[in-house]
Structure 1
């Protein structure tokens, strides 16, 4: 965490440093900064600095020049050139205190675990990393609308069911959102997806009625073991 934060809408210049020298530099617009993570965007038309080997490769279509840039970076020898960003909108998220030149899914997962900013979580959820979805669903700051959106994401059966299990216990899943979640679990059961862990987590919550849970447990796709688990969970409810 850091006490120095960028205001939303302000400009922050990202500089990549290698061998003590600037390698790239580009201004970004700050979307959110909660001290644990910084989320920024850059749009086509922004003036920036980049290694001349890379700008040459882009202007001339010279892939050999692009590859030379890797050797130049390793050796610490390059020249900067002016470049205007084009074609795509960039969305970048950075965790406090971590190197940010090259991102992987682990960076986004750690940011999803640390941030308390719902807007940052919403932007992270747009990605296609299931383990980032899991981290968002386990974050107490995740808002109801985001949990509803995440519950519909599709991936492998294991990833889907783990995500549903995390959402099922989230305190922000209440009211109409919780009712809709029960209906979604019913669909997944009928599809043969076996979201049993999520159903059992719901059975331990006080809000769903016993009738509703027994209905889920007797749908096509439910198992005898799930029915026994729901019965045990209902008996163990503190509100019983």
Structure 2
């Protein structure tokens, strides 16, 4: 492990970093950290930063407009906007070296809604959290882990056409998809029975972004 351990109850910021710039930044409450696996939680009301083209599409409920986010990313030209997480509690598990993170969405009173596999660059620890880069494609799984569907395939195809996802990254993501599906099938890794990790944590103060959230990353992810 390189970088600090994060204290349970403290804040860790997950940032997406592209071309040496911050693409998004969201603070999470730390649930556990053993140096390899970092478990985080986000609650409704948490303030974050996201690309303005994405926030506009989200506020309008226009999924098709989200393709504009990919155009901005490919052009290496974007502005950040404030976004407040809403509606759900999210528990996220980030494992060092893994090509995806796994999340469980719950209602604020703890009812399971879905599992979510977010394909991304393996994280790098920073002084305030972790830096990674969302690779757009996602896997959505029912609460009982019985069925799944792919999400954001149109955006992923657009990213490939524009060169945001190059051929080497595409091949790596194919391997990551196989790994995630194998773990889901075998109920291993993040899908192994683990009530402690995936249980609604007690409420506490919402985390906030530190002043250094937009500082230039040491390395582009």
Report which of the two has the higher share of helix: 1
Give the alignment's TM-score, normalised by structure 2: 0.47
Report which of the two has the higher share of strand: 2
Give the alignment's TM-score, normalised by structure 1: 0.44
